[in-house]
Structure 1
Amino acid sequence: MMDKLLSVFVTCPKGLEYVLEKELDELLQKSAKVRPAGISFEASLSEIYRFVLWSRTANRVLLGLAEGAVHTAEQLYDLVYSIDWQEHMSVENTLVVDFSGQSKNINNTAFGAVKVKDAIVDQFRDRVGERPNITRDTPDIRVNVNLSKGVAVVALDFSGESLHRRGYRTEAGKAPIKENLGAALLQRCNWSQLGCQGASLLDPMCGSATLLVEGAMILCDKAPALDRAQFGFLQWKQHQDDLWKSLIDEAIERFEQGLDNVIRQQSEGYNKILGFDADASVISVARNNIKRAGLDKVINVEVRSLAELKSVDIGEFENDEVPGLLLTNPPYGERLGDIESLRGLYRCLGDKLKSDFEGWKAAIFTGNVDLGRRIGLRSYKQYKLFNGSLPSQLIMIDVSPEYYVKTDDSKESQVLLSRRQIRVANPERAAMFANRLRKNIRTLGKWAKKNKLECYRIYDADMPEFSLAVDIYRDWVHVQEYAAPASIDEKSAKDRLNEALSVLPEVLQVPAEQVVIKQRRRQKGDSQYEKHDQKEQRMVVEEVGCKFYVNLIDYIDTGLFLDHRPVRKWIQQNASGKRFLNLFCYTGAATIHAIKGGAVESVSVDMSNTYLDWGKENLALNGFPETGHQFIQADCLRWLDSAREKFDLIFLDPPTFSNSKRMEGVLDIQRDHVDMIKKAMNLLTKGGVLVFSNNLRRFKLDESALADYDLKNVSASTIDKDFERNSKIHQCWHIKYKTLSLG
């Protein structure tokens, strides 16, 4: 058996077939036939054991037992029954069957699995009078059957649990990649070669440390399956335990030597492995995973946001003779709000690469290519891969000035529908969108009319095919198209946008001249929209007794954030007789509401003179005097450091992330919110209220650091009916000083 060649099929994540083929060549010097999501080859038992132990990319290693034409359930039964199962298992072994594929007569995988199980247990009954038991919980023997194009392949699963489960990651971060995908990304980056040259590895958004651990395992020559206790062949009758144990002993020795070598290399300034993450709880998980992998002596992780990356002394973990590798899997947004808030994050990553990592190799793994372009460095290679079922891309970069490109956020296409050529590729799909829009009008339109709302959201990406936000501004329609999911190609996204636009005027009963489209997508070639050449296209809208100028055409945002309508209304209802402070005030809408509600004085602070002027015009539009109401141009964070006035009501609504050239440093709301809130609270009167809001979907308020205050999460009450589908568009708290109990 040891020298006999056996037929093997090895599965892997989609897109990694050629990585797996190269791995086979390096491990066993064998060629393979590449198939969808795997490779097939012939090998001896010793070679198969070695591959199970050392493959970094494989999911399952399947030992072929039989293959034959199968169209009916009876043919499937006969094929499985023809195998001598007593050569592979005993009646005492537990069993499970994994079945995939179908035929005309076998169109249910559960049915197929039952027929396979019946054939095996019937054979045991016929020959020994007993049958093995079936269990899905750690079975001794796992049988795998695949039926495709009328041919069934019956195999034993040598893996047991999927080989991507190394054993070290019992905890995971928010959006972890699987271990074998992480290893494949490193292989695509030629990490083995770079590591041999002494290169260091850095992940500035390391999460649960998967990339770091996989990188250290490669560097330390640790077999990825070394820590696993269970394999699918351990109870197989033909298993050769001595052979397997000899391979394990060899792997242990190699790891011990490799670990010592890396520790020595690191003491000399080479092969440093370092990770950062802004979330302390995630770093705690990372440290536990690293320790379980036995790599805590060679991997260092710290709590540090991307914005602080520049403060790291690069010399601590880079030798000037060898370029380091920065590999990371940054968040890429599963919903519209996520995508919009992450643009600054990617831009900041690009800025850090340019300022501190010249000469390095960089690789960014993302499911949103448009966000990847925000980095501002031209890639030399891209690999199309999958993160689970999500199409993704590994963007390879040489950090060198010759590859630097400018990112231009002004490339936001804005055009009136009347100026756009519409071609409807799929009328049926357009009709589906129209029906959804009519349904929304019946509910939201009626609600808006009852509440006397001129501005509200009528559609919020209700259907995945139509990635749009559609807002009503009196008798105008404002359409924003966000980056489509990575699974939808650019042509399909353009077709679907056209289909939606084709029905909007009729369904909403507005002329095409009053439909404004904003497309947030990289422009190129024929897909570039003509930009509307008229400026200062303003209109006046009303909200809870206040008037505002909005501009639907000339800016990315209109001047009025519709989701904050309930927050502004609450401010109006609670501002009487109070001094009001509006930080990051934008166009001053909350200030207008506060004055309408009776605020005696107000201060509105923003960095943009354009928005401050807009706010002053809103003030005049409502007939309010400038006396007592200041608009101050300043960086809010620096202004808070020097301000000494006291306010009864404060509205703090900072951006998620900002590295504006006008700011000193970088604003990261998750990192900076505690300091920002404490400084704002220093300006709050004892009986006052700080209204704190932000739109970072995964934001976590550090309640322990703010334990001195009374914290009340009021988010649910600040989401109106038109934003119920997007209920995490913002989070909101009322923060006060605690009152002493006299009990």
Structure 2
Amino acid sequence: MSTSPEFFASCPKGIESLLAEELAGFGADSVRETVAGCYFSGALAVAYQACLWSRLANRILLMVAHFPAGDRDVIYAGIQTVDWDDHIDPGKTLAVTFTGSSPEIRNTHFGALLVKDAVVDQLIARTGKRPSIATKSPDLRIHVRLHKGKVQVGIDLSGDSLHMRGYRQDVGKAPLKENLASAILYRAGWRELAREGASLVDPMCGSGTFLLEGAMIAADIAPGLLRARFGFDRWPGHIPSVWRDAMGDARERRQAGLDNMKNVFLGYEADQWIVRQGLANAQRAGLSKRIRIEQAELANLHQVDCPEGLVVVNPPYGERLGDEASLVYLYQNLGEKFRTTFKGWQGAVFTGNPGLGRCMGIRSRKQYTLYNGALECKLLMFANEEQWFAGYDARDKETANKTSVQSAPLTAGATMFANRLRKNLKQMSKWAKRQDIQCYRLYDADMPEYAVAIDLYGDKVHVQEYKAPASIDEAKATERLQDVMSALPEVLSISPKDIALKSRAKQSGKKQYERQADKNEFFEVKEGSGRFLVNLHDYLDTGLFLDHRPLRLRIAREAAEKRFLNLFCYTGATTVHAALGGARSTTSVDLSKTYLDWARKNLSLNGFSDRHQLEQADCMRWLTDAKGQYDLIYIDPPTFSNSKRMTDVFDVQRDHVELLRLAMKRLAHGGTLYFSNNYRRFKLDESLMDEFEVKDITGETLDKDFERNRRIHQCWKIQHRL
């Protein structure tokens, strides 16, 4: 064999230049890049270095033949030009991997059989012994590639793909291959940062691949040290003494690197089971004392206790949450963490959906195209500094977007209404500011002749017109509504386009859920520590029931470490508060896919992952079939529902006893169930008070903005008797 044979190192597409640089560092000669790999030459010791030290390669092949492709006889003859008894001992096992096709060789299985026959026939003729075929752990694996009329034949020196380091046994969803993770870290400048003692943080770390690869880079640990075997172990050309020297040097470098490493490696993951996987991976890699992985949602990550460095993340980009619309808000939340918690750090986001990356509100300073399997992805590089934040050079938005409202003189009725509205605004705005409340009811038919409810959602207004009694002239009712609409822009200093008007006539049947418009204008509001999407136009309700604000905040205070169940969950606002309050798990049930999608978006907006369970089901039927136990349950059913997906009509007065009995079977002893509804004539069945501890807490769940309308809802706290 030549003293300077030719080799081929395969790698994920997009990192060929990094691999070429790495191979040159091992002493490789004549390095030549091609798609998904590099050719190189050198002594066998160089190939050993690549097998042991390459963080980027998939396989290292010793090239043993190149010849023009033809029909099956030509390929058969070409394979037999190799002296196979130099590469496999008689009676050993082999496997063939064949890629590519031609008009004569139309499928890879046929190509592999042809190569196998050529090898076996030669060995039988020369030695009288037939090698066995073993697809798993063969003594010799042959790789043959048929491409553009040429055949290349290689001996696999790697064994299993080199991305399989040996530390990862159990993985979470959508795991990132180790060599791709290292390539991302290389592109992100981690090698240089690591030498400076920087920290590496992954806020959505899964089973810890970025952290483990980052620590191995920083500590100068050869990624092949943990592997049980390589493809050259039973190859006759193997030189054990050269390999032993390479392994001894790698072990010395590992110990020295660990002794000198000062970096911090910190990861966060929402799923406790995956946290355990990550910690087990670190244990197998011998890095359990160097890597910290904590159970936490992105939403709960407000500060990190370590020096600045690189924050790197591979967030979901389609399949893990399923709904791309919800991912928009997850990426927005991630961008907020970059701008606040990680301000001043270097940032890297690897995504298969670059459009989502644009939702982060930071301009990427550089982008790289990499491939996760066949999927084209982008590595977005960020400098988390103000000059890169979206809108940094813009004028103050509040001033730039402020609209000058030129209104006609108010009528006498409009002036009277405006005076009342100013009085309410003076009182309520002070209260709202003290309580840090952004959305509240400003007016609720305070003057009977002006029968509207007016709610503020930040700098937008939602007006609901109550249906006038039959005794009121329709023209008069219309005139009064015009007075209201003309007074609002003047009193609130807003543009008319920021006012949404709806008629709050009594709804029946399916109409209560039907779409009212199709503007699809969602915007974000704040409540407590939560953020929520509101739509003022498209549905009868906005997505946030303002009267339930105190109860939602109460649940947030009580949710820590509890299993939370939200029935008739609507847009999931209460679920978000429970999650923000530290709930151990949440389950939300609703019959409407529209509202469940909205709930997923609200969860994503607050940085919560898909471990929060959303169930599309009839709540009564779901409770009948449910098996789990919950420590905290919230039920806020509609007054009446006859959705086409239901087998029965739901009537809260008629059905609440069965509903609550079913729910109490799911309530753990010592737990709490909150039951609320908005049916003004509702009466709680007295039999429930004999079975359970029941307390009317309606007064505790009404804020100042609903004190004039204390029948807006009723609420009970229900527990098992001791």
Give the shorter-chain TM-score range: 0.5 to 0.7
Amino acid at match of 1:553: D
Q: Structure 1 residues 136 and 606, CA, compared in 2 at 3 Å: closer, same or farther?
A: closer
Query: 1:612, 1:631 within 8 Å by CA — same for their partners in 2?
Result: no
Could you tell me the percent identity over the aligned residues? 36
Query: 1:607, 1:635 within 8 Å by CA — same for their partners in 2?
Result: no
- Give how far 1:651 is off: 2.9
Amino acid at match of 2:201: L
Q: Structure 1 residues 692 and 373, CA, compared in 2 at 3 Å: closer, same or farther?
A: closer
- Give how far 1:168 is off: 0.5
Partner SS, residue 260 of structure 1: helix
Kindly provide the CA deviation profile for residues 197-239 of structure 1, in whole angstroms up to 9, marking residues without a partner as x. 1111000110000000000000111101111111111111110
Partner SS, residue 154 of structure 1: strand
Query: 2:172, 2:274 within 8 Å by CA — same for their partners in 1?
Result: yes
- Give how far 1:635 is off: 6.9
In the alignment, which residue of structure 1 is the partner of 2:334?
349
Matched, 1:552 2:541: no
Structure 2 counterpart of 1:288, from 271, 280, 284: 280
Flag structure 1 segments of 5+ consecutive residues without an equivalent.
266-270, 411-531, 559-583, 586-604, 619-629, 644-648, 659-665, 681-690, 722-732
Query: 1:540, 1:549 within 8 Å by CA — same for their partners in 2?
Result: no
Matching of residues 408-423 of structure 1 within 5 Å:
none
In the alignment, which residue of structure 2 is the partner of 1:317?
306
Partner SS, residue 632 of structure 1: helix
In the alignment, which residue of structure 2 is the partner of 1:652?
569
Q: Structure 1 residues 15 and 670, CA, compared in 2 at 3 Å: closer, same or farther?
A: farther
Matched, 1:331 2:323: no
Partner SS, residue 394 of structure 1: strand
In the alignment, which residue of structure 2 is the partner of 1:387?
372
Partner SS, residue 28 of structure 1: coil
In the alignment, which residue of structure 2 is the partner of 1:529?
none
Kindly provide the CA deviation profile for residues 661-690 of structure 1, in whole angstroms up to 9, marking residues without a partner as x. xxxxx8585985558889x9xxxxxxxxxx
Whole-angstrom CA distance in 2 between matches of 1:287 and 1:336: 24
- Give how far 1:82 is off: 1.4
* TM-score normalised over the length of structure 2: 0.63
Amino acid at match of 1:338: D
Partner SS, residue 515 of structure 2: strand
Whole-angstrom CA distance in 2 between matches of 1:193 and 1:306: 27
Aligned length: 513
Q: Structure 1 residues 239 and 107, CA, compared in 2 at 3 Å: closer, same or farther?
A: same
Whole-angstrom CA distance in 1 between matches of 2:309 and 2:220: 19
In the alignment, which residue of structure 1 is the partner of 2:15?
16
Structure 2 counterpart of 1:638, from 553, 561, 577: 553
- Give how far 1:47 is off: 0.8
Partner SS, residue 251 of structure 1: helix
- Give how far 1:555 is off: 2.9
Amino acid at match of 2:12: P
Matching of residues 399-438 of structure 1 within 5 Å:
399-406=384-391
Amino acid at match of 1:47: V
Amino acid at match of 2:518: I
Whole-angstrom CA distance in 2 between matches of 1:239 and 1:638: 68
Partner SS, residue 166 of structure 1: coil
Q: Structure 1 residues 677 and 8, CA, compared in 2 at 3 Å: closer, same or farther?
A: closer
Q: Which has the larger radius of gyration?
A: 2
- Give how far 1:403 is off: 0.4
- Give how far 1:33 is off: 1.2
Kindly provide the CA deviation profile for residues 100-132 of structure 1, in whole angstroms up to 9, marking residues without a partner as x. 111110111111111111011101111122210
Partner SS, residue 335 of structure 2: helix
Matching of residues 201-212 of structure 1 within 5 Å:
201-212=200-211
In the alignment, which residue of structure 2 is the partner of 1:104?
103
Query: 1:307, 1:668 within 8 Å by CA — same for their partners in 2?
Result: no
Q: Structure 1 residues 298 and 534, CA, compared in 2 at 3 Å: closer, same or farther?
A: closer
- Give how far 1:543 is off: 7.8
Whole-angstrom CA distance in 2 between matches of 1:642 and 1:56: 47
Instruction: Give the 4+ runs in structure 1 shifted more than 6 A.
Output: 532-543, 605-610, 675-678, 702-705, 709-712, 739-742
- Give how far 1:80 is off: 0.8
Partner SS, residue 285 of structure 1: helix
Matched, 1:231 2:230: yes
Kindly provide the CA deviation profile for residues 38-95 of structure 1, in whole angstroms up to 9, marking residues without a partner as x. 1111111011111111000000111010111111111111011111111111112100
In the alignment, which residue of structure 1 is the partner of 2:112?
113
Amino acid at match of 1:390: L
- Give how far 1:13 is off: 0.7
Whole-angstrom CA distance in 2 between matches of 1:324 and 1:199: 4
Matched, 1:185 2:184: yes
Amino acid at match of 2:199: S
Kindly provide the CA deviation profile for residues 441-495 of structure 1, in whole angstroms up to 9, marking residues without a partner as x. xxxxxxxxxxxxxxxxxxxxxxxxxxxxxxxxxxxxxxxxxxxxxxxxxxxxxxx
Q: Structure 1 residues 279 and 297, CA, compared in 2 at 3 Å: closer, same or farther?
A: same
Whole-angstrom CA distance in 1 between matches of 2:341 and 2:25: 35
Matched, 1:369 2:354: yes
Q: Structure 1 residues 392 and 735, CA, compared in 2 at 3 Å: closer, same or farther?
A: farther
In the alignment, which residue of structure 1 is the partner of 2:264?
272
- Give how far 1:546 is off: 3.5
Amino acid at match of 1:273: F
Partner SS, residue 40 of structure 2: strand
Whole-angstrom CA distance in 2 between matches of 1:335 and 1:168: 24
Whole-angstrom CA distance in 2 between matches of 1:541 and 1:73: 79
Amino acid at match of 1:94: T
In the alignment, which residue of structure 2 is the partner of 1:359?
344
Whole-angstrom CA distance in 2 between matches of 1:639 and 1:34: 62
Partner SS, residue 259 of structure 1: helix
Matching of residues 154-173 of structure 1 within 5 Å:
154-173=153-172
Query: 1:192, 1:219 within 8 Å by CA — same for their partners in 2?
Result: yes
Whole-angstrom CA distance in 2 between matches of 1:719 and 1:546: 12
Amino acid at match of 2:301: L
Whole-angstrom CA distance in 1 between matches of 2:99 and 2:542: 66
Query: 1:607, 1:634 within 8 Å by CA — same for their partners in 2?
Result: no
Amino acid at match of 2:553: R
In the alignment, which residue of structure 1 is the partner of 2:401?
none
Whole-angstrom CA distance in 2 between matches of 1:719 and 1:31: 70
Q: Structure 1 residues 150 and 546, CA, compared in 2 at 3 Å: closer, same or farther?
A: closer
In the alignment, which residue of structure 2 is the partner of 1:424?
none
Kindly provide the CA deviation profile for residues 704-726 of structure 1, in whole angstroms up to 9, marking residues without a partner as x. 994558999xxxx99959xxxxx
Query: 1:21, 1:31 within 8 Å by CA — same for their partners in 2?
Result: no
Whole-angstrom CA distance in 1 between matches of 2:550 and 2:531: 7
Amino acid at match of 1:15: G
Matched, 1:148 2:65: no
Whole-angstrom CA distance in 2 between matches of 1:353 and 1:389: 29
Kindly provide the CA deviation profile for residues 345-374 of structure 1, in whole angstroms up to 9, marking residues without a partner as x. 211111122112222100001111121111
Query: 1:708, 1:737 within 8 Å by CA — same for their partners in 2?
Result: no
Amino acid at match of 2:519: D
Matched, 1:297 2:214: no
Whole-angstrom CA distance in 2 between matches of 1:8 and 1:75: 24
Amino acid at match of 1:397: F
Whole-angstrom CA distance in 2 between matches of 1:536 and 1:165: 60
Partner SS, residue 257 of structure 1: helix
- Give how far 1:391 is off: 1.4
Q: Structure 1 residues 48 and 608, CA, compared in 2 at 3 Å: closer, same or farther?
A: closer
Matched, 1:60 2:67: no
Amino acid at match of 1:554: K
Amino acid at match of 1:651: F
- Give how far 1:650 is off: 5.9
Flag structure 2 segments of 5+ consecutive residues without an equivalent.
398-496, 559-565, 590-595, 604-608, 615-625, 636-641, 647-659, 670-690, 692-720
- Give how far 1:7 is off: 0.5
Partner SS, residue 327 of structure 1: strand
Matching of residues 3-152 of structure 1 within 5 Å:
4-28=3-27, 30-152=29-151
User: Over aligned residues, Cα RMSD in angstroms?
Assistant: 4.4
Deviates more, 1:150-159 or 1:342-351: 342-351
Whole-angstrom CA distance in 2 between matches of 1:541 and 1:147: 72
Q: Structure 1 residues 704 and 546, CA, compared in 2 at 3 Å: closer, same or farther?
A: closer
In the alignment, which residue of structure 2 is the partner of 1:307?
299
Partner SS, residue 179 of structure 2: helix
Query: 1:11, 1:38 within 8 Å by CA — same for their partners in 2?
Result: yes
